[in-house]
Amino acid sequence: MENLIFSLNATIPIFLVMVAGYILRQINMVDDNFVKTLNSFNYKVTLPILLVVDISEADFYAVWDFKFVAFCFGVTLLCILVISLFSVLFVKEKEIRGEFIQASYRGSAAVLGVAFIQNIYGSSSIAPLMILATVPLYNVAAVIILSFTAPNSSGFDMAGLKKSVKGIVTNPIILGILLGMIISVARINMPVIISKTLHNFSQLATPLALIGLGAGFEGRKALAKIKPTIVSTLIKLFVMPAVFLPIAAYLGFTNEKMVAVLIMLGAPTTVSCYIMSRNMGHEGVLSSSCVVSTTFLSSIFITLWLYLLKLYNLI
């Protein structure tokens, strides 16, 4: 019951903020121009700063575990590749294929990972390792996939390749990750004034992103994409944990590491999927649908997985 209550407390408030954004749009308190500006601001400012803060504050050396990091990185890369291949067969519309891939593999690891581990064990010392192993890969893969599957993309020709490479090099999300990793590895202590300023901006990222997602949610268009939404949701919340949690147990991961693996695999689709999709030329409807559905259902699935892990004495 305690895990159920925690899961509901972690996910329902997020869902309600999205609902609030949708209501604000319906009563014309915000309009399309506001949503467009808000998404651009989040993509270029708040999300990169959030990544800088999360990654730079991870003590790279104190909790380093190569086996765990290699597992998280390898599983994430494998999921991206398999889902990408599956999408070619399942998703016939090229313009939503990139959104389907990203929404299926990319979870809210940084936000929920720390929260769940702290709730169960009182600390989150292992969460930064999972974040360092997955978040950079999440974003690099997303930029590449969304670039080559954008509606106006010319595909894998030289012009399209150059455009994608330029997009990756100048992408604010990638730049935020690189800066955060440099600060973490070099153990740079930022002045208090700068640190607090960055934290203030980072705290804006999630609520503003949720409001923008809710305000930009288009119910009728989402219903037209209900099939890929259902499949993506099942992949994110059920298929990936069902396949890789037993492997993690076989490799000897328990307690904090096992919870971190669960969040890496089964956390709801992150809001930044929607923001990146919209800012890289995609419609964003499928992304927003997947965020809403996985967020709403994650309390059920995560509670189920926690119960099973507890049942087998893995946490």
pLDDT tens for the 315 residues of the chain, in order = 665 676 566 567 777 887 898 899 889 898 888 888 887 888 788 878 887 887 787 777 776 788 998 999 999 999 999 999 998 888 877 778 889 999 999 987 765 555 555 555 554 556 667 877 887 888 888 888 887 787 766 554 455 556 656 766 777 877 887 888 888 888 888 899 999 999 899 888 878 877 887 787 666 666 667 889 999 999 999 999 999 999 999 999 988 788 889 888 988 888 778 878 887 778 788 888 888 888 778 778 887 888 888 888 887
For the full predicted model, state whether its pTM sits above 0.85.
Answer: no
Which backbone phi and psi does 108 adopt, to 5 degrees? -85, 65
pLDDT at 72: 93
Contact between 201 and 47 under an 8 Å Cβ cutoff? The reply is no
Rounded distance, CA 228 to CA 115, Å? 29
Question: What CATH number does the domain containing 257 carry?
Answer: 1.20.1530.20
Q: Return d(Cα 106, Cα 239) in angstroms, integer.
A: 14
Within 10 A of 6 (CB to CB), how many other CB atoms are there? 18
pLDDT at 160: 52
pLDDT the model gives residue 157: 47
Angle (deg, nearest 10), helices 2-26 and 192-216: 70
The boundaries of the domain holding residue 20 are 2-311
- Number of separate domains in the chain: 1
Between CA 238 and CA 248 the distance in angstroms is 15
Q: What is the pLDDT of residue 279?
A: 77
What is the 3 state secondary structure string of 16-85? HHHHHHHHHHHCCCCCHHHHHHHHHHHHHHHHHHHHHHHHHCCCCCCCCCHHHHHHHHHHHHHHHHHHHH
Nearest to 45 by CA among 192, 173, 178: 173
